[in-house]
Structure 1
């Protein structure tokens, strides 16, 4: 990741929670080779109606990259020329995190979070664009927020259309992964909508975040990032997954362990030079699912880079990175 959040994420307080070296597992596939601007954090990717791809990420004023072929990625500036003024309520630098892009009702929708490291005084905002390209976004303000009196943290949004409704998954640490229903017209949380609980870690520091829900067949699959990110080669991030017949849960792994009780099948973990994969999102290309994430390159001083893998499915309906 580049930008102001890097310094905050590499504080001594974070590093103190981590082992001196990450544990690697060689049983996972390498990401697809990419070229060009590979540095990224918390990527969200979509194939544009106009052709090619755009990836948005943490860093800058929601950093942007463009590609024609999903291999060569070029720096495309930022989604916004400057931070909307309301962002400064949540951090002094107007620094946004973890965007999520989607397309519906003839427009592209970009969700993102604004917060400060280590606090749940946080908010999720939304912007729309006719093209999905950087510099074309109109911000519409807050979608949902949390404060220190809440038991959840309103960051890391991901939006899913399901069962005739629109749902936003979010959450980081505190009590874990949550979900709230959105108004399809405004893209914002419905007034008085209940906050559903999808996943949690029973052990301190309750390290689960970065959720993403995707449907395959008759199930919804919840991907989430577990353990600690953002410390280069010392990161212990990994991606776990569970599934549910209902978008609001309950989600469980292949052994039946509920994700609210710490369950989740290990989907992707450190291996070789690819340390701490996480911050994931899923996108579709020609009927195929792909997963985007960041990892820390052990052969490049722990620089965060873009990981892309085809998402395959077993006969039993569980996802596999290809």
Structure 2
């Protein structure tokens, strides 16, 4: 009985600590039998797993910062934000953000690779440079936090945005490397006073997940990156069209400040947010970071299964 009890404690310990890796802004993809997680970090941090619980570090995407970055953000330190990973056109597309903190001196770049397995002889990240750039005193939006979505017509769209005038969407060319011409732009979500002077109304980190005949738009509200003082939370709306209008459960437009709170901090995690969403092997998952109350506020990877109510709204 004693040994059974000890075994149970060990199982609980390993289960509770299996996902205890420190991440910000996690995104996932599966290649063959391996999951790859990309997140904010020096050169873009990468981890791999066979079971979504036990993670191994992989080589960073960029050993050195892309050559174009200093022209956007002088003296950039190669700490790259908020990647987004997807597979199209027989290769992987990795969008990423560079920015001067607290400014919309920002740009979204993209790199491609034919495999995510660093031991494959064909493994090589090819950087294609800037997709979109924002400038202070010109743009009322911020070119960070990208997310790619392909609509029912096989047209690619990039949503992005943080603070300022909220979440934007722009159509891309079929090669996914540049903005389509003539340009098509949409404002899909914002909050009142979403400027740096109105931090209590912050919105950022869009992620669009297609399911149940809808496009579900996840965003993160309020303040990240303050440990136990973080007020980050996840809000959601949906639309039958990728470009919107997106509405919350009560029918409020996300473009006019609406949004239904899906998840907020609790006694286990402070400031949960910057999520992504996926279907792996028939199961839907929400992937996000939260500040672990047990581990002194460390930003930790959290993965939860998404359930759906009778009206096709997600819950956890």
Please confirm whether the aligned pair reaches a TM-score higher than 0.5, indicating the same fold.
Answer: yes
Q: Which residues in structure 2 correspond to 1:95-174 (within 5 Å)?
A: 95-133=79-117, 136-148=124-136, 149-164=138-153, 165-174=155-164
Q: CA deviation at 1:191?
A: 3.2
Q: CA deviation at 1:145?
A: 1.1
For 2:222, the equivalent position in structure 1 comes to 227
8 A contact 1:37–1:65 mirrored in 2:
no
The alignment covers a number of residue pairs equal to 289
Residue 47 (1) aligns with residue 42 (2): no
SS in 2 for 1:268: strand
For 1:294, the equivalent position in structure 2 comes to 289
- More relative contact order, 1 or 2 (CA 8 Å, 6+ apart): 1
Question: 1:107-139, CA deviations, whole angstroms, 9 ceiling, x for partnerless residues?
Answer: 111000111111111110101111124563111
For 1:184, the equivalent position in structure 2 comes to 174
Q: Which residues in structure 2 correspond to 1:65-76 (within 5 Å)?
A: 65-76=47-58
For 1:240, the equivalent position in structure 2 comes to 235
8 A contact 1:37–1:75 mirrored in 2:
no
For 2:8, the equivalent position in structure 1 comes to none
Q: Decide which of 46, 50, 56 is 2:38's aligned counterpart.
A: 56
TM-score scaled by length of structure 1: 0.86
State how far apart, in whole Å, the 1-side matches of 2:237 and 2:299 are. 26
State how far apart, in whole Å, the 2-side matches of 1:55 and 1:158 are. 15
For 1:85, the equivalent position in structure 2 comes to 67
Question: 1:22-53, CA deviations, whole angstroms, 9 ceiling, x for partnerless residues?
Answer: xxxxxxxxxx84526611000011111x3210
Q: Which moved more, 1:102-111 or 1:203-212?
A: 203-212
8 A contact 1:34–1:70 mirrored in 2:
no
8 A contact 2:41–2:81 mirrored in 1:
yes
State how far apart, in whole Å, the 1-side matches of 2:269 and 2:20 are. 17
Q: CA deviation at 1:94?
A: 3.2
8 A contact 2:19–2:302 mirrored in 1:
no
Runs of 4+ in 1 over 4 A off after TM superposition: none
State how far apart, in whole Å, the 2-side matches of 1:281 and 1:36 are. 16
8 A contact 2:156–2:176 mirrored in 1:
no
8 A contact 1:34–1:73 mirrored in 2:
no
SS in 2 for 1:72: coil
SS in 2 for 1:260: helix
For 1:8, the equivalent position in structure 2 comes to none
SS in 2 for 1:222: strand
State how far apart, in whole Å, the 2-side matches of 1:36 and 1:280 are. 15
Q: CA deviation at 1:301?
A: 1.5
For 2:192, the equivalent position in structure 1 comes to 202
